């Protein structure tokens, strides 16, 4: 899986027919003239085993802010303007580290804002065969393995290095994953660069190398609510997905291996639909919502392309997702139960946030017809995803 993806691409591009404008145009005059601030680091506490965690704040030239924790590479906050120019936090999370390390959070494990690896999404029965050898993984989403296992990358403390680029402030996160960690073969060195661009995009650039053949599917698990703090759910958000097919699942949310047309189904988002419009018609085992992979391409693409658009009518905020990955998992927050108290003590009930996880398909190691997720020594995995923010008046 030697992959050639472009780096973060921040030039102005068409919104594919939407009427969105960059959120930069809604910034105040003082924010428009402000130079992009250098990333700042602050202590964020310690994990239960005593490991220190840092919190980095990135601010671009228009005053947008992203805060990222070294625990899981977690995006804890993202402030972007609405159609009145007022900044608001559009991601779910907690005010302090204790929220991310509590027993309840670990038990429910919603993966708020975290980097996911070694293998994002599900692997059937926690087993796969590579080069004739079978590997067994932790069963943490019975009967399957989910998001890298019991101690996936979301629960590891990464090394963070702040920086700057021509596009905006950056945070480089690195993690050394030893051979055999969570059952996966090969020592993997992973680097993820977050950039908060001066064109109001949050860009993630992933790189990884291995010393043994392994499987790899890196993604990011932020829950978005573009009117967070005002709406109690995301069912009124309007979603477009640039996909003609999806991967239907069995009753454990494992793909059946079929690539099914979205036509005539509630999975058809080729034209905008409110998330809640057909949510009760969704097939599969997800409790009352979407938790499926949409097929963007039949192989890794050479550059990033538009995969999804979201519009929230009350705030006017929009978000475009660009990626070079062949799939995208749309998850409508079905498993949120209202037990977790997030920022400001607000409970997060079902459908309070949604995820758009750019990825390879779930269970690809067991589906030879799916795009390959095998990474071998001498190859470099490289991928880019951007979340571009704007507004409609």
The DSSP code sequence of 309-374 is EEE-TTT-EEEEEEESSSEEEEE--TT--S-SB-GGG-B--TTS-BEEEEESPTTGGG-TTSPP-E
Domain contains 157: yes
State the pLDDT at residue 301: 84
User: By residue range, what is the domain housing residue 382?
Assistant: 21-391
Domain contains 286: yes
Statement: residue 7 has pLDDT above 60: yes
Q: What are phi and psi of 100, to 5 degrees?
A: -85, -10
User: 191 near 173, Cβ under 8 Å?
Assistant: yes
| DSSP bridge partners of 127 | 136
180-189 mean pLDDT? 98
What is the C-alpha to C-alpha distance for residues 57 and 233, in angstroms, rounded to an integer?
Answer: 27
Domain contains 275: yes
Statement: residue 12 has pLDDT above 90: no
Statement: residue 25 has pLDDT above 80: no
Domain contains 2: no
Catalytic residue among 62, 221, 228, 360: 221
Domain contains 218: yes
3-class DSSP state of 19: coil
Token pair recorded at residue 264: 């005539």
Domain contains 11: no
113: left (phi over 0), alpha (psi -120 to 50) or beta: left
- 50-102 per-position pLDDT tens digit: 999 999 999 999 999 999 999 999 999 999 999 999 999 999 999 999 999 99
Number of domains in the chain: 1
Token pair recorded at residue 270: 């080729």
Domain contains 7: no
| Candidate from 21-35, 63-77, 185-199 with smallest mean pLDDT | 21-35
| DSSP bridge partners of 309 | 240, 320
Catalytic residue among 181, 357, 367, 386: 357
What is the C-alpha to C-alpha distance for residues 367 and 369, in angstroms, rounded to an integer?
Answer: 5
Q: What are phi and psi of 172, to 5 degrees?
A: -100, 125
Within a 10 A sphere around the Cβ of 25, how many other Cβ atoms? 14
Query: Would you mind telling me the total number of residues written for the chain in this entry?
Result: 393
Is 357 considered catalytic here? Answer: yes
Domain contains 281: yes
Token pair recorded at residue 199: 């064109």
- 134-164 per-position pLDDT tens digit: 999 999 999 999 999 999 999 999 999 999 9
State the pLDDT at residue 36: 55
Q: How many CA atoms lie within 13 A of 237 on its CB side?
A: 30
Is 360 considered catalytic here? Answer: no
Which class for 17: exposed (0-12), middle (13-18), buried (19 or more C-beta within 10 A)? exposed
Token pair recorded at residue 71: 């625990």
What is the C-alpha to C-alpha distance for residues 338 and 359, in angstroms, rounded to an integer?
Answer: 27
The CATH number linked to 148 is 2.70.98.10
């Amino acid at each position: 899986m030697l992959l050639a993806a472009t780096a973060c691409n921040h030039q102005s591009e068409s919104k594919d027919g939407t009427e969105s404008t960059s959120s930069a145009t809604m910034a105040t005059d003082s924010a428009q003239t402000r130079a992009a601030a250098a990333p700042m680091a602050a202590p964020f506490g310690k994990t239960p085993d005593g490991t220190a965690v840092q919190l980095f704040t990135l601010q671009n030239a228009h005053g947008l802010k992203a805060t990222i924790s070294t625990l899981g590479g977690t995006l804890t906050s993202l402030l972007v303007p609405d159609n009145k120019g007022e900044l608001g936090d559009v991601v779910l999370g907690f005010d302090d580290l204790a929220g991310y390390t509590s027993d309840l959070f670990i038990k429910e494990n919603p993966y708020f804002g975290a980097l996911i690896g070694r293998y994002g999404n599900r692997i059937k029965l926690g087993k796969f065969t590579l080069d004739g050898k079978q590997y067994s993984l932790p069963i943490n989403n019975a009967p399957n393995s989910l998001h890298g296992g019991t101690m996936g990358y979301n629960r590891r403390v990464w090394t963070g290095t702040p920086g700057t680029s021509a596009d905006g402030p950056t945070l480089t996160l690195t993690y050394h994953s030893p051979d055999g960690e969570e059952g996966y073969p090969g020592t993997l060195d992973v680097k993820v660069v977050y950039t908060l661009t001066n064109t109001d995009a949050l860009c993630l650039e992933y790189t990884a190398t291995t010393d043994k053949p392994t499987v790899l599917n890196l993604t990011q698990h932020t829950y978005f609510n573009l009117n967070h703090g005002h709406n109690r759910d995301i069912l009124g958000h309007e979603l477009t997905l640039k996909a003609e097919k999806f991967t239907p699942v069995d009753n454990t949310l494992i793909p059946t291996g079929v690539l099914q047309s979205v036509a005539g189904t509630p999975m058809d988002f080729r034209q905008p639909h409110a998330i809640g419009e057909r949510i009760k018609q969704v097939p599969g085992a997800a409790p009352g919502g979407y938790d499926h992979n949409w097929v963007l391409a039949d192989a890794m693409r050479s550059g990033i392309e538009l995969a999804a658009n979201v519009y929230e009518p009350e705030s006017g905020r929009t978000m475009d997702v660009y990626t070079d990955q062949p799939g995208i998992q749309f998850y409508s927050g079905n498993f949120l139960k209202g037990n977790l108290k997030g920022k400001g003590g607000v409970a997060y009930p079902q459908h309070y946030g949604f995820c758009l996880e750019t990825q390879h398909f779930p269970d690809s190691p067991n589906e030879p017809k799916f795009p390959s997720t095998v990474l071998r020594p001498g190859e470099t995995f490289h991928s880019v995803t951007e979340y571009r923010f704007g507004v409609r008046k």
